[in-house]
Structure 1
Amino acid sequence: MEYILENKELSIRIESFGAELVGIKDRINENEYIWQKNSKYWGKSSPVLFPFVGSIRNGKYQYEGKEYEIKTRHGFARDNEFKIFNRGKDFIEFVFEYSKNTLEIYPFKFKLFIKYTLKDRSLEINYRINNLGEKEMYFSFGAHPAFNINLDLDNNYEDYCIEFDKNEIGNSKVLQEGFVVPNKEKEIFKEKKLNLKKDIFINDALIFENVKSKLIYLKNKKNEEIIKFKFANFEYLAFWGVQGGNFICFEPWDGITDYINSSGKLKEKIGIRKLESNKEKKYDIMITV
């Protein structure tokens, strides 16, 4: 089911399936800022990544002497129905809870809350993960919103850039068949500006670790069209798109896809997070257009 938040300037659309953001539309000029799910290129708009980011090597992992099989990329929360937890005039909050089915592939009891709040020309998204079990819980988490690259007679993909709030080293992890190659990086940009080009994601996502900036911008270099993106409590920042798909994904991650030499043991997984019993972990992003 689709839900709508509106004010005088923006209209926000969220689907209960995956609690996925599927629209940020300017009510004045009719611009749509979110990618509109074209399955020819990519059939999502803004999935949530939980309880894993990326892929699990061989589709299996071990925890406390038992092997679990999970074939889906980026966990499973994005492929499940969320329930309404709370709702007001300018916000809506969803919840997804463990079940018998999730326990078969992920042996932890959890609740995942996603709250969308509309503030003037900004959308704030708050994530909360609760460990309901008696033992510590191991997980990764990430956001994955895709923003439209508006192409017309006057614009092309190369007119756009990503600008960082602070100077960065700009070295990306190297991927091989979707998995990280250990101790290997490639310089993608320097200082503050990452220029887009059509083949920039030919080798999959660009993944940067320990980015100093917590504020980045998607800019059109010709007309200064801007999307402002703030994020908090994430260790990694990734960018991704597909050639021919006129979008760019901003992906703050707390966790990372498996390394090619991963042991398969959950507690040894690179980037895995640990949450104590009855504790909560929070993440936040804000999108301003």
Structure 2
Amino acid sequence: MITIQNTKLKATFNELGAELASLINLKTGKEIMWEGNPDFWGGISPVLFPIVGALKDEQYIFEGQTYELPRHGFARRRIFTLKESSENEVIFELKSDEESLKIYPFEFSLEIIYTLVEKKLTVSYQVKNLSEKEMHFSLGAHPGFAIDTKNGLNYNDYEIAFSDDEKLEIHPLIDNLISNETQTIELDNKTLSLSYELFSKDALVMTTMKSQELVLRNKQNNHKVIFTFSNFPYFGIWAAKNADFVCLEPWQGIADLENHNQELIVKFGIVKLEKNEDWIADWAVEIE
């Protein structure tokens, strides 16, 4: 485990998946991240690469060949190299290798940079195409934030405020694939109240959300975290059944549409990089 900290925050990371494992508010001692209880969901903040969500039949086709990839890809199951580390910043890197090329035929470098400044943790991603050919990929974040249900509080005391949305257009998931149909959730003054029932049919998947700032807050005590992101056009909100967390998930790419032909190059939301080209995106969480 790798740790960085300043006077406000302490962050801990696992080299497996370069995953953020803990973020502690040093003023209050409060843990911001979900505990990763495997009885509900063993993840905390996995990186989703080189796909987001599920493929139809867990397969895709590229240049006439069929490959298999598990849901959310393989990066979260790989050991990253610790490239650089300082008191307030850490950089992890994952590169393609003989094993990855069997299931994903592109040479790449994926760097994840975690930086602490005052009360904010910023997470930046840089993907570089090291192949001779055009590279196709998706990447998503999946951080789970703890919901405090102790000392008289409950899950329904929490809400998410959106900076620029009056309503949410949701794509339902059907056997882990994206429906072409949409459902509308009307927000109350740009605010979504949390409940266990909200996720009874899986994640809320959005491809047209306008907001790039969300505030997760407790209505009883006004404890909150401010969540911002850039260069992620799609978004998911999810929690496991009856579990005390909520995931705020900025994505570049989504699961296969239910009528997708499995061809990678025409997959909805796929990113295309030319040789030696970079793609950069980030998200941040600020503690209030």
Return the TM-score normalized by structure 1: 0.97
Mapping of residues 79-158 of structure 1, within 5 Å: 79-158=77-156
Q: Whole-Å Cα distance in 2 between the matches of residues 216 and 234 of structure 1?
A: 14
Structure 1 counterpart of 2:45: 46
- Contact 2:91-2:111 at 8 Å conserved across structures: yes
Q: Whole-Å Cα distance in 1 between the matches of residues 186 and 87 of structure 2?
A: 42
Letter of the 1:159 partner, please give it: D
Letter of the 2:143 partner, please give it: P
How much has 1:65 moved relative to structure 2? 1.0
How much has 1:47 moved relative to structure 2? 0.2
How much has 1:198 moved relative to structure 2? 1.1
SS of the equivalent of 1:86 reads: strand
How much has 1:10 moved relative to structure 2? 1.3
Q: Whole-Å Cα distance in 1 between the matches of residues 173 and 242 of structure 2?
A: 21
Structure 2 counterpart of 1:275: 273
Structure 2 counterpart of 1:288: 286
Percent of pairs with identical residues: 37
How much has 1:153 moved relative to structure 2? 3.6
- Contact 1:168-1:212 at 8 Å conserved across structures: no
Q: Whole-Å Cα distance in 2 between the matches of residues 76 and 194 of structure 1?
A: 32
Structure 2 counterpart of 1:233: 231
Q: Whole-Å Cα distance in 2 between the matches of residues 60 and 166 of structure 1?
A: 36
- Contact 2:58-2:71 at 8 Å conserved across structures: no
Structure 1 counterpart of 2:184: 187
SS of the equivalent of 1:158 reads: helix
- Contact 2:95-2:108 at 8 Å conserved across structures: yes
How much has 1:242 moved relative to structure 2? 1.1
Structure 2 counterpart of 1:64: 63
SS of the equivalent of 1:249 reads: strand
Gaps of 5+ in 1: none
Return the TM-score normalized by structure 2: 0.97
Structure 1 counterpart of 2:14: 15
What is the root-mean-square deviation of aligned Cα atoms in Å?
1.0
How much has 1:261 moved relative to structure 2? 1.3
Aligned residue-pair number? 286
How much has 1:210 moved relative to structure 2? 2.7
How much has 1:28 moved relative to structure 2? 2.2
2:29 is the alignment partner of 1:30: yes
82-91 or 274-283, which deviates more: 82-91
- Contact 1:132-1:277 at 8 Å conserved across structures: yes
Q: Whole-Å Cα distance in 1 between the matches of residues 54 and 164 of structure 2?
A: 30
- Contact 2:196-2:241 at 8 Å conserved across structures: yes
Q: Whole-Å Cα distance in 1 between the matches of residues 96 and 40 of structure 2?
A: 31
SS of the equivalent of 1:256 reads: coil
How much has 1:189 moved relative to structure 2? 2.8
Please list the CA deviations of residues 219-276 of structure 1 after superposition, one character each: whole Å capped at 9, or x if unmatched: 1111111110010001101100012210000000000001111101111211111111
The structure 1 segments of at least 4 consecutive aligned residues displaced by more than 3 Å after TM superposition are none
